[in-house]
A and B are shown apart, each in its own frame.
Chain A
Amino acid sequence: MDAINSSSARKDNLAMIIFVAVVLTAPLWGKLIGAGYPDLLQKFAIFGLFAIGFNLLFGLTGYLSFGHAVFLGVGSYTAAWSFKLLSMNPIPAVIFALLLSGLFAAAIGYVSLKRTGIYFAILTLAFAQMGYNLAYSVLTPITNGETGLRVLRSDPRIIDSAFGVQIEGSPIGSFFGIEMTGYSGFYFCAAMLIVGFYVALRVFRSPFGMKLVAIKSNQTRMEYTGYNPKPYLLTVFIISGMYAGLAGALMVIVDPLAGAERMQWTASGEVVLMTILGGVGTLVGPLLGAAVIKYFENIFSAINETVLQATFDFLPAGLQNFMVAVVHPFVGEGWHLTLGVLFMIVIIFMPGGIMEGIRRLTNWVRRRKE
């Protein structure tokens, strides 16, 4: 399917309405699938944004960045500093995180986009690892190194103190008096997700987006057709980096702590998995991929040996121990093994990810009706 289909205004509006409804009712349907915790729903929204933004670059242009987590880190540190220096209000935190991650993306993108394919991926990875190591070592005054950057009660917060805002207990993001924890924290993230999704939809449906897909399809033809692909690629790289920065900021907004591990290559790899699992180059796929991964992470990583023992209690003792030994590596800390298996199954049987699965299913249902 053409990633840029000439979808009608009616279809797009309908899609947007459904999307908003699904996001806003998440606490309700979340309960049905055992995901009715604000913490988990916040993760859906935050990683959903991260993946949607990543897909704008990877899905539309085919440029695979393997270092997008660096922007997540930049967004987090910026938001934490905004909390420390200015105000516990998430709005300035979001704005500064967008600006700074955009700036970093401009610099990193400018250099990395000098190469394509695997070399581009390696360059972005190198930058991200540099960022990670800098955050751990030289930049300790800014990042607080290994401990991570905390927001303290004694921080200056000049805007808050000018308005006489007092903080009791440990500082928590506060949207004009609404504390950014629990469901109110989720709804703030949800609002950002809706805006982010709408912007992505506009990119997909714009002449700009069509040109990005054309670059993916045949970059040489683009050049001999009168386009300079570089500014297009750099622009979408920056936009994509800003999504990651926003996601990073939201992490701090719902939990005021920023650590360097957010920039590690595993985090960069995770967003690649989310996007591919959901469906590269589709609008909602990456969001689904993010939600599925976070959902299963939540379930599988919570299972420990005691739980397993209880689950297989009905078996004879020998068999019970055997089953526990077999299953144990796939749960708890080892849940990544499960993720690996899940990922392999999806990629082998549905290279187009979850979205392809959904498409096949609807086609099948339609055929059965006829």
Chain B
Amino acid sequence: MSDNDDSYILEIIGVNKTFGGLKALSNINLKVKEGSTHAIIGPNGAGKSTLLNTCIAKLVPDSGSIIFAGRDLAHGITPHGINQIGVSRVFQTPEIFPKLSLLHNVMIPAFAKRDGFFRFNLFKWLRDEKKLKDEAMSYLDNLGLSDSAEVHAGSLSRGDKRRLELAMCLIQHPKLLLLDEPTAGMARHDTNRTIELLKDIREDGMTRIIIEHDMHVVFSLADRISVLAQGAIIAEDEPEAIKGHPGVREAYLGSAEI
């Protein structure tokens, strides 16, 4: 493989973050190839979510930079600005619009993609947005949620909320999709379905970073895996190599079977 710089869509360079005395991220360096799926694994409290938070301006790192599409995501850019240049995220605790119907939940990100961060479309009827509505329905359909399109999102189960959030991200066709435990709380059947879906959309050339505790999901999807423990990357390699990595077994997997 050629190590051409241009093929990296995201470069995390020397990122540090401390909370009080706790070193949550120490000197993180990570490069993600365009179109690839990069998994981040590690024990609870390793700093995985914190790392994603620094990528979407939810947290400002103490030092270091995060280069995406020629912009530094760590400095001088707002959360909505980051989304508008092509980064969407599924959160560890689902972030949806509980008071809106599923359909509207998915239409809102589609509007953001089409109209930008602000548009005064007060003189339009929502019901005239047929194209957008059909698109939203097809995404709900893909995730098996179209039967409850008119239901309030707040009444969904945790696993369904997560699938809804995935639909909300996918409809934006992001260049970079950040997935924080996208299958946690899902039944096995739905997990497999989500894996299949994520495999399918890989053709779009969408780059994915996925945090996951479920090794079945990780090894089904990942092209490369980074192992995070106590805020530091202790290993980074291809899945097969990670499976056999002794340090990883000790730090994270323990004696568990993979």
Interface of A with B (CB < 8 Å)?
A: 2-4, 6-9, 202-203, 205-211, 213-214, 216-218, 220-228, 231-232, 235
**Interface on chain A toward B: helix, strand, loop, or mixed SS?**
helix
A179–B177 alpha-carbon span in the complex (Å): 65
Which residues of chain B are near A9, meaning CB under 8 Å? 125, 127
Binding site for A on B (CB under 8 A): 56, 58, 78-80, 83-84, 88-89, 91, 95-101, 103-104, 107-109, 111-113, 116-127, 129, 152, 168, 172
Name the residue on B nearest A224 (C-beta): B79
Query: What chain A residues lie within 8 Å of B109 (beta carbons)?
Result: 225-226
Check A218–B122 contact: CB distance below 8 A: no
Bound-state Cα–Cα, A208 to B78, Å: 21
Q: Are A214 and B83 in contact (CB under 8 A)?
A: no
B83 and A205 contact, CB distance less than 8 A = no
Give every chain A residue within 8 A of B104 (Cβ-Cβ): 2, 4, 210, 214
- What are 11 contact pairs spanning A and B, CB under 8 A? A4-B100, A4-B104, A206-B125, A208-B119, A208-B120, A214-B108, A218-B97, A222-B108, A223-B80, A224-B95, A225-B168
Q: What is the CA–CA distance of A232 and B125 in the complex, to the nearest angstrom?
A: 17
Q: Which of B89, B101, B125 has the most CB of A within 10 A?
A: B125
Report whether B118 and A231 are in contact in the complex, using a CB–CB cutoff of 8 Å: yes
Task: List 15 additional contacts besides A6-B126, A206-B123, A225-B80; criterion CB under 8 Å.
Answer: A2-B100, A202-B125, A205-B125, A206-B121, A206-B122, A206-B126, A208-B119, A210-B126, A213-B99, A214-B97, A218-B96, A224-B58, A224-B83, A226-B117, A231-B118
Contact call A221/B99, Cβ cutoff below 8 A: no
Q: Looking across the interface, which residue of chain A has its beta carbon closest to that of B152?
A: A2
Contacts of B127 in A (CB 8 A): 6-9, 205
List of B residues within 8 angstroms of A209 by Cβ? 122, 126
Interchain CA distance A260-B202 in the complex, whole Å: 65
Whether A218 and B98, one on each chain, are in contact in the complex, defined by CB atoms closer than 8 angstroms, is yes
Contacts of B172 in A (CB 8 A): 225-226
Contact A216 B56 (CB under 8 A): no
CB neighbours (8 Å) of A223 from chain B are 78-80, 83
